[in-house]
Chains A and B, each alone.
Chain A
Amino acid sequence: MALTPDDIRRIQHLARLELQPHESEHMLTRINGFFAIVEAMQAVDTAGIEPLAHPVAAFQDVQLRLREDVASETDQREANQRSAPAVERGLFLVPKVIE
C-alpha cells in the first residue's frame, strides 16, 4: 500500500514539520521505497502473540518501576533555562497563544 501526497501533508502536520513542496515529493518517494519492505512483516501471522515492549520481558518478568512521588531535586531553574531560546523572569517565552 503506497502513501499519497495527502498522507504526507497529514503526517507533516501531525509531526509539526514544515516541508517545502520539493521536499514532500522526495520524502514521499523515500517513504514508499521503505514501505515496500514492510509488506513482508505485515504478512506474518501473529495471532495469539503478545507484543514485546521491554525486550528482556521475552526472557524474564520485567516490572516497570514507579519511584516514590517525592521531590528529589533542588531548584535548578537557572541552569535548566540556560539553553532556552527565550526566557523572561524565569519563564519560557513563546509567541502569543491567547488573544
Chain B
Amino acid sequence: MSALHDLSVAALAGRLKAREVSAVEVAQHFLARGGAHAGLGAFLATDPEVTLAQARAADARIAAGEAAPLLGVPVAHKDIFVTRDFPTTAGSKMLEGYRSPFDATVVRKLAEAGMVTLGKLNCDEFAMGSSNENSAYGPVKNPWDTSRIPGGSSGGSAVAVAARLAPAATGTDTGGSIRQPASFCGITGIKPTYGRASRYGMIAYASSLDQAGPMARSAEDCALLLSALCGPDPDRDSTSLDVPSEDFTRALGGSLEGLRIGVPKEFFGEGLADDVRAAIEAALQQYEKLGARRVEVSLPRTELSIPVYYIIAPAEASSNLSRFDGVKFGHRAKQYTDLLDMYRKTRAEGFGEEVKQRIMVGTYVLSHGYYDAYYLQAQKVRRMIADDFRRAFTECDVIAGPAAPTVAWKLGEHGNDPLADYLADIFTLPASLAGLPGMCLPCGFGAGGMPVGLQLIGNWFQEGRLLNAAHAFQQATDFHLQQPEGVQ
C-alpha cells in the first residue's frame, strides 16, 4: 500500500471516508514528515495542537456520516492568507509575530470543507518575487535540486507539494506566483478568473491582479480544492464577482477531440531555452495525439506586459502597503523623534529591499505630474493586452505555452538584479493582466533534470475546460507522478 504522503488528495479523501485511516493519523504523518524535511524551508509556522484539534473535528464529522469530498485531508496555506490560529508574516519582518483576529475567506472555506491545516508556507515578502529569495525568513530550496530556487512567490507552497509535505496547498498569483513555482517544482496549480476567489484576508499586494488558487500534484486534486475555495464574497471583497462556484471535477473526463489549442508565436521567441522548448513541443504533440488541433495565434503585446505589470503592481502595492506604519499592527521602530520619523524608521526597518523598491516605483508613478504618463498609460495598454486575448480566443479554445523561459535557476544566480527576475515573468504576466484563468502542469524535464511546466490559459470563467485539458494530459502521461529523488 502507498505511503500516505504518496496519495493524491482524491485517494486520501477516499481512504478517510472508508475509515481506513483517521484524519488524526493523516495529520500526524504529515506533521512528522514536515519536521523531517524542515531543511527545505517550506514552512514558516506549524502548531501540532491546532492541527490535531482540526483533525479530531474532521474525524467527528466523518464519524457522523458526513461525506464532503475534502473532509480530513490536510492542506497548508501560503503565509499571505491571514489565519486566526497560526501567525501570519507575509514573509516580512514587518509582521513578525502578527496574529490576525480573523481567517481569510479562502482559509475559512477550506476549513468548512473539512480540510485540516498543517501550517503556514514561506513566500516572497508580500508576494513580491519570482524566486522566494525575497522572504525575510530565508529562501526555500527546490526539492529537485536544493541548490536551485523553487520559484515564487508561492515557493513554499510549491515545495510543500513537490516534496509531499502536504497533499495540497494554497497559493496566490498576481503575475504568475502560482504557475511559475508550479512549473519549477513539477506540480500542478491553477489561478482562476480574477474575482472568482475572494481576496478577503489575502494580504493585498496588487488588488486588481491578486487571485488565490490551489496547488497540488494533479489537475483532479486542483479541481477538488478550486471547487471549495471559489465563490462570491459580496460583503467582504468589492471586486468579488457574483459567479457561483462550480463542481469543477464534473468537467474532467471530457474528450479533447477537436479542442483548438492556440499556440502564441510570441511565447516561442529567442528568449526561450532549448530544453523548455523541446518539452513544450512534445506536450503539444501529445495533445494532438489526444485529438486536439493546434492553431497558431498571436499575442503581439506579450513583451509589453512586463513594463505594464511592473508599473501597475507597484502602484497598487505602494497604496496597499501604506497601512504598515507601526500604529495598528506589525513592527514599530524602537527609536524615533516624532510621528513622521516613526513612520519612516518603522518602514525602513520592516520592509526588505525589493518591497522598498516597488513602493518607491509605485509612489513615483502615482505622484503628481506622472500619473497619466505611467499608471494611466499602463492601464490603457492593459486593455489592449486583454483585447489581444479576446481576439485569440475567437480562433482557439485554450492557449498553451511555457510558464517560464527556463527551468529553475540557481539560488543567488540573479544576484542583486531584480530586472532579471522581472524579464523571466514574461509568459505569466499577460494572463494576469487580462484576469484570465491560467494553470501550469508538469510536462517534462530540462537541464539538470529539472521539471518543465506547460502553461494553459483559458477564456474568462473557463476553469473547467482548462482542468479537463490538463486532466486528459495527466491520464496519458506520468510527469505529474515523478518524484524528486532527494526527498524520500
Contacts and interface: CB of A to CB of B under 8 A. Distances in A.
Interface of A: 3, 7-8, 10-12, 14-19, 23, 27, 30-31, 33-34, 37-38, 40-42, 44, 46, 49-56, 58-60, 62, 64-67, 72, 76, 79-86, 92, 94-97
Contact of B344 (A17, A27, A44): A17
A52 B381 CA distance: 8
A34 B89 CA distance: 28
Q: B-side binding surface: helix, strand, loop or mixed?
A: helix
B377 A46 contact: yes
A76 B99 CA distance: 14
The 8 closest A-B pairs by CB, nearest first: A55-B435, A51-B379, A58-B386, A85-B332, A79-B101, A52-B383, A18-B344, A46-B380
B380 A50 contact: yes
Residue among B195, B373, B378 with max Cβ neighbours from chain A (10 Å): B378
Contact of B193 (A16, A56, A66, A80): A56
Contacts of B338: 95-97
Nearest to B98: A83
B378 to A, nearest CB: 6
Interface in B295-339: 303-304, 306-308, 310-311, 318, 322, 325-332, 336, 338-339
Interface stretch (B25-33, B108-116, B360-368): B360-368
Interface in B96-145: 97-101
Given A40-B304, A55-B386, A14 B381 contact: no
A58 B235 CA distance: 24
Contacts of B209: 55
Interface in B418-470: 418-419, 422, 433-436, 460
Contact of A41 (B326, B336, B377): B377
B418 A17 contact: no
Nearest to B342: A95
28 contacts: A7-B364, A11-B360, A15-B318, A16-B343, A17-B348, A23-B356, A30-B418, A31-B360, A33-B419, A34-B361, A41-B311, A42-B373, A42-B377, A44-B380, A44-B381, A49-B381, A56-B241, A58-B387, A59-B460, A62-B195, A64-B239, A65-B238, A67-B235, A72-B235, A76-B101, A83-B97, A83-B100, A85-B326
B241 A52 contact: no
B234 interface: yes
Interface of B: 97-101, 193-195, 208-209, 234-235, 238-239, 241, 303-304, 306-308, 310-311, 318, 322, 325-332, 336, 338-345, 347-348, 351, 356-357, 359-361, 363-364, 367, 373-374, 376-384, 386-387, 390, 417-419, 422, 433-436, 460
Given A54-B435, A72-B235, 15 more contacts: A17-B344, A31-B364, A34-B419, A41-B308, A41-B311, A44-B380, A51-B379, A55-B434, A56-B195, A64-B239, A67-B234, A79-B101, A80-B101, A85-B326, A95-B338
B435 A84 contact: no
B241 A62 contact: yes
A52 to B, nearest CB: 4
A71 to B, nearest CB: 12
A18 B323 CA distance: 16
A38 B360 contact: no
B381 A41 contact: yes
B359 A15 contact: yes
A25 B328 CA distance: 31
Residue among A34, A79, A84, A86 with max Cβ neighbours from chain B (10 Å): A34
Nearest to A8: B360
Contacts of B343: 16
B46 to A, nearest CB: 20
B384 A49 contact: yes
Contacts of B381: 41, 44, 46, 49
Nearest to B460: A59
Contacts of B328: 80-81, 83-84, 92
A83 to B, nearest CB: 4
A99 to B, nearest CB: 11
A7 B370 CA distance: 12
A41 B241 contact: no
Given A15-B359, A56-B195, A56-B435, A85 B327 contact: yes
B350 to A, nearest CB: 10
A37 B348 contact: no
Contacts of A67: 234-235
Nearest to B393: A59
Contacts of A52: 379-380, 382-383, 386
B27 to A, nearest CB: 27
A34 B304 contact: no
Contact of A58 (B238, B342, B434): B434
B241 A14 contact: no
A41 B375 CA distance: 11
B347 A41 contact: no
Given A41-B304, A65-B234, A84 B329 contact: yes
Given A38-B311, A67-B234, A97-B339, A86 B348 contact: no
Contacts of A16: 322, 325, 340, 343-344, 347
A2 B363 CA distance: 16
A95 B209 CA distance: 36
Contacts of A12: 360
